[in-house]
């Protein structure tokens, strides 16, 4: 696919990873520290 499609897919995948991480309290705290 083109670059825009690849970026969009990567964004969706990273968001899914964040959702999984937020299900776990420890990783949730680390995510908060990043932002």
What local confidence, expressed as pLDDT, does residue 14 receive?
A: 94
Task: Write the pLDDT tens digit of every residue in 1-35.
Answer: 689 999 999 999 999 998 887 777 665 566 667 66
What local confidence, expressed as pLDDT, does residue 24 receive?
A: 73
Q: What is the 3-state secondary structure (H, E, C) of the chain?
A: CCHHHHHHHHHHHHHHHHHHHHHCHHHHHHHHHHC
pTM of the complete model: 0.48
What local confidence, expressed as pLDDT, does residue 31 receive?
A: 62
What local confidence, expressed as pLDDT, does residue 28 receive?
A: 57
What local confidence, expressed as pLDDT, does residue 2 receive?
A: 87
């Amino acid at each position: 696919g083109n670059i825009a499609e690849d970026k969009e897919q990567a964004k969706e995948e990273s968001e899914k990873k964040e959702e999984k991480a937020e299900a776990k309290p420890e990783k949730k705290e680390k995510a908060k520290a990043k932002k």
